[in-house]
Amino acid sequence: WAADLGQVDPQDIWRKDRDHFVHPWTHFDSFKQDGSLVMDRAEGAYVTDISGKRYLDGIGGLWCVNAGYGRKEIVEAIAAQAMRMPFYNPFVDTTNVPAAELSAKLASLAPGDLNKVFYTCGGSTANDTAVRIAHYYHARRGKKSKMHVISRIDAYHGSTYLTGSITGRPGDRSPYLNFLDGWIHHVSSPNFYRSEKARQEDMSEAEFCDHLVQELEDKILEIGADNVACFFAEPIMGAGGVIVPPPGYHARTLEVCKRHDVLYISDEVVTAFGRLGHFFASKDVFGIEPDMIVTAKGLTSGYQPLGACIFSDRIYDAMSAPDPDGWFTNGYTYSGHPVACAAALANIALMERDDICGHVRKMGPYLEKKLNELLDLPIVGQVRGKHFMMCVENVADKATREHLPDAANIGKRISDHCERLGLIVRPLGALNVISPPLTLTEPQIDELVGILRK
């Protein structure tokens, strides 16, 4: 098939796509009318569509092409492993070299005693597995009733039946889908800028944080600590609108969880592998050692699908204590896929060699500063995020924070216009999200922000 690359008819591909490929998160009316932009090639921080038009990729594929496009080292590792052995099953009796190597590497990079790794095919399945690990862990300690899950409004944790229910973005609650609501609970979003309660009660950010911490504890007590398995939190919420929690929030919510024997699951599908300037943000940015870290995306820089749930020795020891019924009946054919693990190892090696985390720590503040300059525009209400995980919130009135009349579409109108000008940014209702490859240079940041300003 690869031999045909470059010899395709763009219209034919566009039509085949529209007629046969059902995309994630499809809004059918608009998809049927517009179809999709067919992306075809990529190099560095740029993608080129099938008609030859080139764009600066302001979203890194989808918060994931951290090392940038065209990385020969990763591609060669993939090819070499596929040729040597593309697959062998990982079901206990057999394993493979890249999976073993990658597990040891992740254990060395992850904080504290997070030394055990369970592989999946992406972020949703890794979060799904995290819940099953939490249930299994508690049950093995004689606490089978601890099965309820607490998450937050605006959280995004995936799209399996379970993780779609743990997700808390109101817009994802399609009236035509069902959700597992009986044992999944949502506490408030840590969005200080948009909190009605903080506004009405004239709270400071510190008081808002007190309120959130208290709310979590109240929720645990309401359900009964004996019934709560785990709390899910992204260090910075991504798809919910790049929401940075108030200072101290993670440490204090972790402390509440510890006190009630509730596992703290840090969903680092977006924030890990350099986006915030470190391999993992939980410890190095927010100072916490959670019980589990879930990751995917930047783990392979998107070159192969791979997710991982990294969890503590303490959890593993309880799960694996001698017991004839001790089967952890969870896993996938492609858990620890050798080609995906080889891609991750090559990706991590090049991130270390080129000190990509250091580059983000240096360039991240520059991106933040340039985006903050957009606050002089009448519709830019807030610029938020950290380093290479940013967003711009568009409003009608900066003082009242009132939304524009077409708030649901303004992000899309702006990103459509950026697209015409050669930049991809992601629309999220009234927001535009910026999560570029981590290799972005100063001139490329100027180009990105310059187009966004237009």
Minimum Å gap between C-beta 236 and ligand PLP is 9
CA distance 68 to 64: 9
User: Site size for ligand PLP, by CB under 6 A?
Assistant: 14
Q: Does 57 bind ligand PLP (CB under 6 A)?
A: no
SS3 state at 382: strand
Of the candidates 24, 107, 11, the residue with the CA atom closest to the CA atom of residue 62? 24
Q: Name residue 284's amino acid.
A: D
- Identify which of residues 307 and 364 has a Cβ nearer to ligand PLP in the complex: 307
Determine which residue in the list 238, 241, 302, 336 makes contact with ligand PLP, applying CB under 6 A.
238
- Identify which of residues 257 and 306 has a Cβ nearer to ligand PLP in the complex: 306
Residue 292's CB is within 10 A of a number of other CB atoms, namely 30
CB 66 within 8 A of CB 60: yes
Q: Does 239 bind ligand PLP (CB under 6 A)?
A: yes
- Identify which of residues 74 and 155 has a Cβ nearer to ligand PLP in the complex: 155
Q: Looking only at residues 358 through 397 of this chain, which bind ligand PLP when binding is defined by CB under 6 A?
A: none
Q: Looking only at residues 279 through 308 of this chain, which bind ligand PLP when binding is defined by CB under 6 A?
A: 296
Sheet with 423-424: list strands edge to edge.
39-43, 46-49, 54-57, 423-424
Q: Looking only at residues 101 through 130 of this chain, which bind ligand PLP when binding is defined by CB under 6 A?
A: 122-124, 127
Q: Does 190 bind ligand PLP (CB under 6 A)?
A: no
Main-chain dihedrals φ then ψ at residue 117, nearest 5 degrees: -130, 130
CA distance 85 to 373: 51
Determine which residue in the list 105, 157, 337, 426 makes contact with ligand PLP, applying CB under 6 A.
157
Specify the stretch interacting with ligand PLP by CB under 6 A; choose among 5-13, 142-150, 231-239, 391-399.
231-239
Main-chain dihedrals φ then ψ at residue 250, nearest 5 degrees: -65, -45
Q: Does 61 bind ligand PLP (CB under 6 A)?
A: no
- Identify which of residues 230 and 239 has a Cβ nearer to ligand PLP in the complex: 239
- Identify which of residues 124 and 282 has a Cβ nearer to ligand PLP in the complex: 124
Specify the stretch interacting with ligand PLP by CB under 6 A; choose among 35-43, 198-206, 224-232, 266-274.
266-274
- Identify which of residues 45 and 59 has a Cβ nearer to ligand PLP in the complex: 59
CB 54 within 8 A of CB 46: yes
Determine which residue in the list 158, 241, 436, 437 makes contact with ligand PLP, applying CB under 6 A.
158
- Identify which of residues 124 and 301 has a Cβ nearer to ligand PLP in the complex: 124
Helix axes 356-372, 338-353, angle to 10 degrees: 70
Minimum Å gap between C-beta 131 and ligand PLP is 13
Tell me the residue nearest to ligand PLP as measured from the CB. 123
Residue 181's CB is within 10 A of a number of other CB atoms, namely 10
CA atoms within 13 A of residue 76's CA, in its CB half-sphere? 5
Specify the stretch interacting with ligand PLP by CB under 6 A; choose among 90-98, 153-161, 190-198, 220-228.
153-161
- Identify which of residues 265 and 410 has a Cβ nearer to ligand PLP in the complex: 265
Alpha helices in 157-268 (DSSP H): 161-166, 196-200, 205-223, 249-259
Angstrom CA distances, 295 to 65, 149, 150, 234, 435, stand at 14, 19, 19, 10, 16
CA distance 82 to 79: 5
Minimum Å gap between C-beta 270 and ligand PLP is 5
Minimum Å gap between C-beta 238 and ligand PLP is 4
Minimum Å gap between C-beta 127 and ligand PLP is 6
Minimum Å gap between C-beta 307 and ligand PLP is 6
Which tokens belong to 297?
């995306």
- Identify which of residues 122 and 381 has a Cβ nearer to ligand PLP in the complex: 122
Q: Does 156 bind ligand PLP (CB under 6 A)?
A: yes
CA distance 96 to 437: 30
- Identify which of residues 96 and 167 has a Cβ nearer to ligand PLP in the complex: 167
CA distance 23 to 32: 11
Angstrom CA distances, 156 to 113, 133, 152, 159, 398, stand at 26, 19, 9, 9, 27
Specify the stretch interacting with ligand PLP by CB under 6 A; choose among 109-117, 251-259, 265-273, 385-393.
265-273
Minimum Å gap between C-beta 300 and ligand PLP is 11
Give the residues lining the site for ligand PLP (CB under 6 A): 122-124, 127, 156-158, 234, 238-239, 267, 269-270, 296
